[in-house]
Amino acid sequence: MAELGSSFYRQFMYPILDKRRGTDSLARYSELKKSQWLSSDEIKRLQQKKLKALVKHAFHNVPFYNRTFKKLGIRPEDIQTKSDLKKLPIIDKETVRNHFEELKAKDFKSWKPTERTTGGTTGKPLRYYSNKSEHSVFWADLWRAWSWAGYELGDRRATIGGSKPSGSGFRSFIKSRVMERNLSLSSFEVKPEAMQVHVKKISRFKPRILRGYPSSLYLFAKYLNDAKVKNLGVGSVLSISEQLYDHQRSAITQAFGCEVYDNYGCPDAGVLACECMEHEYHLNSENAIVEIVKDNDVVSTGEEGEMVSTNLVRYAMPFIRYRTGDMGKASDAKSKCKRGLEMLDSVLGRTADYIILPNGNLLAAVNIAAVFNAISSKIHIIQYQVVQEKKGELKVLVVEDTGFSESDSSLIKDTLLEHMGPDMAIDVVIVDDIPLTESGKRRSVVSKLEVGIF
């Protein structure tokens, strides 16, 4: 029996999925394919229209925001533009936990809310509610971002993600493989035997795009490059959920022989920032407003800060000026691809992925990755993780490879001290394994300190 093609899925299967979910993702996707080509001023006006509607709803229907507005002595009409948002306080995960019921709209049930939970990568998972229209927009935003990597709705895709093998089953298979045309592979399976199975599955499936955590894609790429495996039939690779480092991008590009596109997403904030074919990070500006903030003030173009988001389509439980916990750098550059969407210069990882140096300065995970990459040919390790529990102290956990010796430990320590200063106490600890997070991610830097500057 011949396989059903992409056009069949676009015309028949995806409308069925929309109907089953009670969503209108296809209609939203059609809108987004057009709106991305609007001018930046037109998109700004669209944002402002949605912002005014959201703020009015929040004031009249959400107890938390009604109380907050009255306490500050402001009215909905005082919030007209992105720059007006600074009149409101920034909220975070603790705000949501402490005011959970207050953040629900009085007409909560009319929005057909669905409970969601974050992965809890840096701590306790967060519960929140999204509405049906937000779910539609979420998928439409994703499809559009994938299309920048050459994906067309209905194409096959594969995902190396956080699902453990035990989480699979017949219903999951039908939903993922048959209905969504997605080959799901576990990021927990990283041994050579498992990699061989991944190779066979991907070769047979021939996905248009392969999505995955950069750390998992990198290990898979190293296996492919070492084993000289070629021509898996992948059209593009999309990195998700973790920061993508230059050495990872290079190895993945070599292994799959195709372009790698970085995709940033924060579902609880309703934000996407994804690379187009020009490798520019475009925001989903029609559905979210993103501010780059430091010390509670919006930073200038080119400065680093934390991304703070206002989700313009979440009405059941609005998050206005919500801290994502992720770092970015603002950009006002003109897009090479001519899209009017706002852009970020770069996505820089989580605030929990920063080491506090003895002098109070910060060192990002990307800088630490560069240090290890610079000495990678001289040290015999499989994996590493830098952990900070106290200021002025670091533990470097390493899984040793054949040939590892005390000189490797000394080189790691000495090289890090060159970048961190002589006052940092560094302990290199040999471990059998560096465990993944609950969601299957592999973190290279873990800080248990409060960064405290945002």
* pLDDT, tens digit (0-9, with 9 covering 90-100), for 412-435: 999 999 888 899 999 999 999 888
The predicted structure's pLDDT at residue 14: 87
Mean pLDDT of the region 226-251? 90
Question: For the chain, what are the domain ranges?
Answer: 6-351, 357-447
pLDDT at 2: 36
Q: Do domains 6-351 and 357-447 have the same CATH topology?
A: no
What's this model's pTM, rounded to 2 decimal places?
0.80
155-172 pLDDT, tens digit each: 999 998 765 444 455 455
What pLDDT does 81 receive? 96
What is residue 175's predicted lDDT score, i.e. its pLDDT? 55
Confidence of residue 10 (pLDDT cuts 50, 70, 90): confident
Is residue 347 within 8 Å of 243, Cβ to Cβ? yes
Q: In this structure, which topology does domain 6-351 adopt according to CATH?
A: Rossmann fold (3.40.50)
> Residue 200 and residue 188: Cα distance in Å, rounded?
17
Q: What is the DSSP string of 81-97?
A: SGGGGGGSPPB-HHHHH
Q: How far is CA 354 from CA 169, 266, 323, 394, 453, in A?
A: 38, 19, 16, 12, 12
Backbone phi, then psi, for 174, in 5-degree steps? -65, -45
Which one has a higher pLDDT value, 359 or 207? 207
Does 121 score more than 80 pLDDT? Answer: no
Burial 359-380 (b: 16+ CB within 10 A, else e): eeeebbbbebbebbeeeeeebe
**39 pLDDT exceeds 90?**
yes
Tell me what the pLDDT averaged over the chain comes to: 88
Most confident of 113-117, 130-134, 338-342: 338-342
Share of the chain above pLDDT 70, in %: 89
Q: Which residue has the higher pLDDT, 36 or 241?
A: 36
User: pLDDT per residue over 57-81, tens digit each?
Assistant: 999 999 999 999 999 999 999 999 9
CATH 3.90.1170.20 fits 357-447, yes or no: no
What pLDDT, on a 0 to 100 scale, did the predictor assign at position 341?
Answer: 97
**How much is the average pLDDT of 3-22?**
83
Asked which of 7-11, 21-25, 313-317, 387-391 is least confident by mean pLDDT, the reply is 7-11
Per the rule left: phi > 0, alpha: psi between -120 and 50, beta: everything else, 440 is: left
What integer pLDDT is reported at residue 262 of this predicted model? 96
Confidence (pLDDT) at 197: 92
